[in-house]
């Protein structure tokens, strides 16, 4: 592994097993599937999930070259055949431009997005849901992970402080309200079907494409 290009995230290391365990309960374990990960970060998650969910072919993505290089490093070391090389996707851009227009419509069973919504522009949140409207198959699933504002209520106090700190850094950042996400989903032919409590005051939201 090229130590100059591969990055490590302590939080990704901590949450990879809880997220994997949730995915195992949500996804079929034998049927072939295709998954698009938006904002793959270092690549730790996609490499780990591909190792443990080998019925899924994974397409990682990012919007900065340093992260793309790191993802590429993890893929090369893993030698797994069920991870594609990463593509450039900026969720604030029109979905038709994602991966230079090389993604086929309605081609993914799963879209996974971990810890992006609260630290990105509102346009990225909107773009994620618009993209799922384009690229998820009928009956496909969007899974998002992170801290959320639950119908106008942020708790516990540590999440209130996190939201305040994020908005001080950028007034478009902050914990997304699940009611807003539900409406975005409905605008893109999806339904919020499940909310799963996760460690460290995080949640997984599960949306199904109609």
Looking at residue 1, its pLDDT comes to: 45
Domain borders along the chain are: 10-209
Provide the H-helix boundaries in 142-177: 157-169
User: What count of residues does the chain have?
Assistant: 210
- How many Cα atoms are found within 13 Å in the side-chain-facing hemisphere of 108? 23
Torsion of CA 85, 88, 89, 92, to 10 degrees: 170
Q: Which of 4-13, 147-156, 191-200 has the lowest mean pLDDT?
A: 4-13
Tell me whether residue 44 is exposed, middle or buried, using C-beta atoms within 10 angstroms of its C-beta: 0 to 12, 13 to 18, 19 or more: buried
Looking at residue 4, its pLDDT comes to: 53
Nearest-angstrom CA–CA distance, 2 and 11 = 21
Distances (CA, A) of 108 to 58, 131, 138, 145: 10, 11, 9, 18
pLDDT tens digits along 55-109? 999 999 999 999 999 999 999 999 999 999 999 999 999 999 999 999 999 999 9
pTM score, whole prediction: 0.96
Nearest-angstrom CA–CA distance, 84 and 75 = 8
Q: Average model confidence (pLDDT) for the chain?
A: 96
Residue 29 has pLDDT above 90, yes or no: no
Q: Which CATH class is domain 10-209?
A: alpha beta
Residue 176 has pLDDT above 70, yes or no: yes
pLDDT tens digits along 100-141? 999 999 999 999 999 999 999 999 999 999 999 999 999 999
């Amino acid at each position: 592994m090229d130590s100059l290009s591969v990055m490590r995230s302590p939080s990704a290391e901590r949450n990879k097993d809880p997220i994997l365990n949730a995915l195992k309960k949500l996804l079929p374990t034998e049927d072939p599937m295709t998954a698009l990960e938006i904002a793959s970060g270092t690549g730790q998650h996609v490499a780990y999930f591909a190792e443990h969910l080998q019925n899924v072919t994974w397409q990682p993505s990012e919007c900065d070259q340093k992260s793309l290089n790191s993802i590429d490093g993890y893929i090369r070391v893993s030698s797994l055949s069920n991870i594609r090389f990463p593509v450039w996707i900026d969720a604030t851009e029109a979905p038709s431009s994602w991966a230079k227009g090389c993604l086929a419509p309605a081609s993914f069973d799963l879209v996974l997005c971990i810890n992006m919504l609260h630290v990105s522009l509102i346009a990225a949140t909107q773009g994620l849901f618009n993209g799922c409207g384009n690229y998820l198959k009928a009956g496909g699933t969007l899974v998002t992970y992170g801290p959320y504002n639950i119908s106008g209520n942020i708790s516990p106090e540590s999440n209130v402080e996190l939201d305040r700190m994020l908005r001080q850094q950028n007034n478009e950042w902050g914990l997304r309200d699940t009611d807003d996400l539900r409406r975005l989903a409905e605008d893109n032919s999806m339904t919020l079907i499940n909310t799963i409590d996760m460690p460290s005051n995080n949640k997984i939201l599960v949306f199904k494409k109609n």
